[in-house]
Each structure stands twice: as structure tokens, then as C-alpha cells.
Amino acid sequence: MEQEQPPERPLVDDERLDNLLAMGENEFQAAFGEAVEKTLDLDTWHTGEDLAAMYQALEQEVANAVVQEGRIRERIRSDLFPLAFRHPQAPKDCAGNYQVDVHMLERIHRGLLFNGNVEACDGTSMVHDSLPVTIAQIGVSLVSYHGDQGTYVHRLYRRDLRVGGSDPVEEAMKLLEKRKQRDSTDASSTRDKLSDFTQRGIMAYAERAVLLEKSQARWRMGHGHPVPYELLTGGGLTINGDMPLLRYSINMWRKLLLEHKRWVFVTSAPADRLLLTLGDALYPLEFALVATPLQSMRDITRGNLPSGKGLKEEAQKFVEELGPQIVIGLYRASAQAPVRLFYAHREFACEAALIAMADSVLQEHRGFPMLIDLADAVCRATFGGETFRSMVQQAYAGAGEPFRYLGERETRN
């Protein structure tokens, strides 16, 4: 594995970078190639029958975009790579881009992946929302190439009223008051967004806790950010001024991310387009270590945690300890695959990149770790939508009401 050192040249100054990224006065027209007035004029729209012209325009736009990306790729390598690797937020001592040879990937296959020394975890969540009860199911699976290492599930049952009083009128009034605060059972909720956010936070915690407590493999592989927003903000769950999800997460992160250290997380849809632009300039079987998430973690804890009981201060102190130890990297597994973004501990960042890349070359068209896809497939097969809906419908049928409380979408053919 050979590290490519950035050439000795002056850094790109802020003014030059601003000029490169500027879109002009009319950002809409600069981005889409037409005035917003034209977009809103229905006379410029195509009819549904004019599909041939639409296909031709689509092909031309995609071809032009691909040509433009190819034209600037070498410029990014020569001008922006040095800027990224010397940036103050770049990981110390290991920033740079690295070329990997096939022999090294073969060693990873034989020595780690195919003998079960890497285990991956992924989760899924399902919700059934009806008038009597809301059921949230969170399932997590742990897999290796030796097979299924375990599946875990937890269900939360939300009822608007759980007390049974002797006065039925009083009980009905309390129930109506509770339900007045909630939205439709058959639509995306606005007032219930907090509980949706909490549910995602619990699933994110469960995935990482399973990697810590249930996995016995030397290397652990996860999906997404190791310190996701949902957990770093406590999942929006505050009880008497305390945020239990955040407290549990800090304890879990310390053991998994700082003490175990041999882990890698790969994301599906990173939001940072600057990082994706840098990664798009990577050659096949090449990876780059470019940054740490310290500043973004600082911003989250500074603006999203309530003061009191010392939890905000504890979280901020932990971020200063953890943030510099996490490295953000990029890799490309094949010429056909898109760039992938990953996170690893700084002491094992190169090894983590090799493991992620070795698992990703097994899917040349996707360039994404097959173990994560396997964990997802096991999770969906065990806890997926069809299985979950069938269980719920069977429970209602057993209660003597097979259709009364099912939403329109649940009974649609």
C-alpha cells in the first residue's frame, strides 16, 4: 500500500476557492440552466405523449454532466487534494491518498473476511399506527461470512391511555384529550415527529450496542455514521431533565469506538458534496483519509443539547476526546462503482479502509460492503414489512376486528 504524497505547492487561498464555488447572482438559473419563470410556465412542459423528446434531453444532460466531471477530475487531484490533506481538520499523521494492490485485498479476504473475523450489523424499523395502539418494531441482525450471528427485536406499544378507571365517562374524556394532541393515523405526523426521531435513535443505538456486546469478531462493521445525529442529540428524549439515550450512548461509544478501536462504518448517502467531489477523483482501488468529524460534532452538541444536570458539558468533553480519534475516509472499489465514505479509528484507519474495500470489490457494480447488504437482507427477511404487517393483521383478527382499525394503505391491493 503506497501513500501518494501531495505535491509541494501553495494552498488554494479562500478567495480562489470562493470563486471556484460561486454560482452567480441567479443561483436557480445557474444550477438548472433555465429561469424559474420558465419552469413555472406550463406551456414549456412536455405532454405525457412526448416521451421521445424527454428521453433525448435526459440522455444529453447526463452525458454532458459525466463529461464535465471527467474533465475536472485531474484538476481536483492536483489542486484540491493538497488543500484537503493539509487542512486543519485533516487527521494528523495519516492524511493522504493510498493505492491498494490486489494481493493485499486477497490477504484481507482470506485472513479476515471469509474466516469470520469481521461481523456486520444493520437494523430496520417498522411502525403500525392505528386508533387503539401504535406499534413500533425495531429489529437488528448481526452477520459474518460464517452465517447469521444473531437477530434481535424489540417492540414498543404506544397507547394513548393505559389506566382503566371505574368511571367510563371519565376514562373516555381522558382518552379524547390525549388523542387531540396527535395527528392522523394514516399520514405523516407533525406533532409526533419527536417520537419518530426517538425511534430512529433507539435503532441506531441498538445497532452499535449489538456490535459491542453481541459480536465476538475481531473487526466490527456498521452502517452509517458511528456517532449519528439522532444519538448525539439524545434522540429528542428528555425525561426530568435527563437524556438517557445520550448517557447510554456515551458509555457504549467509549467501549466500542475508543477501547475496541477495530471498527469501520460505511455510509450509504453522505451529505457532504465537497467530500464526494474529492472522492470522485479517486482511481479504482484507491482510498484517501481526509478529515475528522470533530467540528461537526462540536456544532451538534453546542446547539442541540439543553443545559442542566451537567450532561451537555459531559457530552462536549467527550466529543473533544472522541472526535480527533475518528478519521473520515473515501474509497473507490472499482471503476464502475461510486465513491464510498467510511469512518474508522485513526490507529486502524488504513486497515479499516482495506477491509471495507475488500468486501466492496465483491460487488463490482455497487462498490459497497457485501456484509452490510447481507445484514440488511437478513434483517428485512426476519423483521420486514410483509412479516410485520401479517403479524399485526393476525392479531387484530384474533381480537375480532380484522379490518376496523387498519389504514387505507394497509388494505389496498
Q: Characterize the bridge pairing of strands 326-332 and 340-345.
A: antiparallel
More confident residue, 74 or 12: 74
Q: What local confidence, expressed as pLDDT, does residue 26 receive?
A: 64
More confident residue, 159 or 295: 295
Cβ-count burial of 185 within 10 angstroms (0-12 exposed, 13-18 middle, 19+ buried)? middle
Give the tens place of pLDDT for each residue, 21-78.
444 446 777 777 788 888 888 888 777 666 677 677 777 777 776 677 777 788 888 8
How far apart are alpha carbons 265 and 216 in whole angstroms?
A: 17
Q: What local confidence, expressed as pLDDT, does residue 164 receive?
A: 57
Q: What local confidence, expressed as pLDDT, does residue 131 receive?
A: 74
Q: How many Cα atoms within 13 Å fall on the side-chain side of residue 77?
A: 15
Name the CA dihedral angle for 157, 161, 163, 168, rounded to a multiple of 10 degrees: -140
Q: Return the top range by mean pLDDT from 21-25, 238-242, 246-250, 272-276.
A: 246-250
Phi, psi (rounded to 5 degrees) for 221: -120, 130
- Average pLDDT in the 191-195 region? 49
Which residue reads 461470512 in cell numbers?
A: 145
Q: Which residues contact 396 (CB under 8 A, 6 or more apart)?
A: 402, 403, 404, 405, 406
- Average pLDDT in the 263-289 region? 90
* Chain mean pLDDT for the chain: 83
Residue 358 has pLDDT above 70, yes or no: yes
Q: What local confidence, expressed as pLDDT, does residue 103 receive?
A: 92
